Amino acid sequence: MASAIDWAALREAASGAASLAYAPYSGYPVGCAALVDDGRIVTGCNVENASYGVTLCAECAMIGQLHLGGGGRLVAFDCVDGAGRTITPCGRCRQLLFEAAAPGLVLNTPAGVRTIAEMLPDAFGPEALG
Ligand code: THU
């Protein structure tokens, strides 16, 4: 439930991840963190590449860490840039979060706390694949 979420801990973890970003091309470090339904916190930072289109968003690293650490479902998510501003995940990463979401996943956004359904309405999901 949203009231039980330690948003300050998520922000600290996301900021720590942003400090480890590899973003020499954009100069825009990003860090994110999420609470998993078993209580652990997973993090990610963006990792860029000289072939710009191959750049990995922070959320990609975080979802990899989710699975490497034993899987689970995301309950709450926070994302921050190198200046400490709250940012929203890009469209592709909303899809990544949707697939890993616990029911009612909430995201901290510049517009306040939003559910994944608000951030990605009418999402394409695995059920469509039959
Ligand atoms: N970026 C993320 O890591 N996550 C997002 O949701 C938005 C964008 C990164 C990708 C790129 O390294 C930099 O921000 C500038 O677009």
pLDDT digits (tens, 9 = 90+) for 15-67: 999 999 999 999 999 999 999 999 999 999 999 999 999 999 999 999 999 99
- Report the predicted TM-score, pTM, of the whole model to 2 decimal places: 0.96
For the segment 79-96, the average pLDDT, to the nearest whole number, is 98
- At residue 130, the 3 state secondary structure works out as coil
The rounded Å distance from CA 58 to ligand 1 centre is: 7
Q: Whose CA is nearest to atom 1 of ligand 1?
A: 57
Q: Whose CA is nearest to atom 4 of ligand 1?
A: 57
State yes or no: is 59 an active-site residue.
yes
Q: What is the pLDDT of residue 5?
A: 96
| Band (4; pLDDT cuts 50, 70, 90) | confident
The rounded Å distance from CA 130 to ligand 1 centre is: 32
Report the pocket of ligand 1 as residue ranges, CB < 6 Å. 23, 26, 28, 30, 46, 48, 55, 57-59, 89-90, 93
| Strand intervals (E) in the chain | 30-36, 41-45, 74-81, 101-109, 112-115
| Options 59, 99, 118, 127, the catalytic residue | 59
Residue of higher predicted confidence among 35 and 1? 35
Q: What is the pLDDT of residue 2?
A: 45
pLDDT score of 3 more than 60: no
Across the beta sheet with 41-45, the strand order is 41-45, 30-36, 74-81, 101-109, 112-115
Could you report the per-residue pLDDT of 110-130, keeping only the tens digit for each? Answer: 999 999 999 999 999 999 999
